[in-house]
Structure 1
């Protein structure tokens, strides 16, 4: 419970005891209780005092007319405003303390109903023609912990920026039915919102489960493919040698003239010519074919000083 509300209830207790005492029998005594309770600087709630049989006895038609208005006055202090007091005839005249108290209580109600809370609106509702009186009233409410607010006289229009209001106004009995209806509707809306949230949560869980299933399936497929690739790579003969591009061929033997020995068909000739290439190591010139100059006296028996040429791998002329 708010500390300000607790202090207000404690401040009202002596007046409740007086109303419940045996001496509270005359209308004048009851009227004095109401006057003193509403004038006390720390009393801001009056529902408990209103509920006492002594205070309710003022509704009797036997009560003198000058005291009949005190019950209505206490009701205005409990849940009414300054405007209600001015609009109700035959009410007792207020003292300075009661006037200040009723304006403070009215300020609490106005702070929760008027948006924005401008100077002009407050001055009209509280019958305060002077701006200084309004600022003094608001400052008093702030120091009494009735509300948390900040004055903004330089804003356009000048306003009172209220951030919190103490729960010090009583609830009018006639408004309980309306409040119960509003609370019931609010409870129904909260139930609908809760159901919608639960449905959303279930949908999110279902989607998450579907995603998890797909991810597990993809992972199993990936693992199976990786395993199959590894098995293929480790199979016998897989990726081995052969006559492909990557296989290493033995180095060819080459003769003194750089001609690879044993390479038959290298120059497009027949087997005999290839054998001649393997056997002859003489000087040759590359022409239309490949010629081997055997030189003079090579043992071919074709004459003295003559040179014999043999054509290998080309056309013979």
Structure 2
């Protein structure tokens, strides 16, 4: 599309040079330049030609009436449409090349403004009587790189689907101020958005710095707390370790002696209670052993409290010590080993 605009500008340059030459003082000569420029198959933009002094001189009241219409005709080719030409009186008649050119330029404008782009709407806007003629015009515009479009004659209604339009229409001078106002307003909105984004970025950066400072402070406080806790725990561990060691040794001696926690001391003549199990019977076996062949009682896992003193008998006449253990085995019905 940009190449089409470049080609159109290049095609217009010879006509611009003719209007700036010294021989372009005659209104007839300028009118012929306009007719040739609008008939050329490669010219689609005409703003630069309109701005030349020779063309603008056609507005003078001294210009013959038959040539004044060429200035208006050039303006229609620059930014007007076929309908505008039809509705304006006093304009020169168009040859076939000019009629095709103006219809093609009008198709560019209609493709940007008319939705949907139906066959019926285009035929009415371009004064075309048959669908075949319209399709030929659209095909010419496509191959001239003026539009990117697809014909859909089978749809209801038949339409022309345009997806791209070449920037080959000039802008009316009256609309420039309005466009500048719109662009200025858009620029102000963009500036406000950019300022808001920059303010948010500054706020995020400031918050990031504050968060980093807080993280360093929390890390330092945590490291200090861990260091203080390690020192105190080492002292406590040293003091408690000796106490635990003593308790463990005392417990081992009690286990070897067969004392239960909470039992009374053997000193002073009082009896000590010892908890016996099957393992004790195995360790102190004196010839009598668990279940014999005679089917005695099973004492594995059983426990009994046996009074045992320091001597062979207590004050009550009971047997104590190893004798008491053997007597207990006999009472339980434990047979001898065979």
Q: TM-score if structure 1 supplies the norm length?
A: 0.76
Residue 60 of structure 1 and its aligned partner are, at CA, apart by: 2.6
Residues 218 and 163 (structure 1), Cα distance of their counterparts in 2 relative to 1, 3 Å cut: farther
Residue 25 of structure 1 and its aligned partner are, at CA, apart by: 3.7
Moved more, 216-225 or 64-73: 216-225
Partner of residue 315, structure 1 = none
Moved more, 182-191 or 157-166: 157-166
Partner of residue 172, structure 2 = 172
Question: Do the aligned partners of 1:265 and 1:274 also contact (CA within 8 Å) in 2?
Answer: no
Partner of residue 307, structure 2 = 290
Q: Does 1:221 align with 2:221?
A: yes
Residues 222 and 135 (structure 1), Cα distance of their counterparts in 2 relative to 1, 3 Å cut: farther
Residues 159 and 205 (structure 1), Cα distance of their counterparts in 2 relative to 1, 3 Å cut: farther
Partner of residue 12, structure 1 = 12
Contiguous gaps of at least 5 residues in structure 2: 275-283, 287-302, 322-338
* Partner Cα separation in structure 1 for residue 134 and residue 269 of structure 2: 132
Partner of residue 304, structure 1 = none
Q: TM-score if structure 2 supplies the norm length?
A: 0.72
Question: Do the aligned partners of 1:233 and 1:239 also contact (CA within 8 Å) in 2?
Answer: no
Moved more, 34-43 or 147-156: 147-156
Partner of residue 268, structure 2 = 271
Residue 242 of structure 1 and its aligned partner are, at CA, apart by: 4.0
Residues 308 and 118 (structure 1), Cα distance of their counterparts in 2 relative to 1, 3 Å cut: same
* Partner Cα separation in structure 1 for residue 48 and residue 86 of structure 2: 25
* Partner Cα separation in structure 2 for residue 189 and residue 217 of structure 1: 42
Partner of residue 26, structure 1 = 26
Cα distance per residue 1:36-83 (max 9 Å; x no partner): 110101001111211222222222333333222111101100111111
Residue 265 of structure 1 and its aligned partner are, at CA, apart by: 7.9
Contiguous gaps of at least 5 residues in structure 1: 301-306, 313-317
CA RMSD, 1 decimal: 3.7
Residue 123 of structure 1 and its aligned partner are, at CA, apart by: 2.8
Residue 89 of structure 1 and its aligned partner are, at CA, apart by: 0.8
Question: Do the aligned partners of 2:271 and 2:308 also contact (CA within 8 Å) in 1?
Answer: no
* Partner Cα separation in structure 2 for residue 31 and residue 288 of structure 1: 140
Cα distance per residue 1:9-40 (max 9 Å; x no partner): 11111112222233334333322211111010
Q: Does 1:309 align with 2:306?
A: no
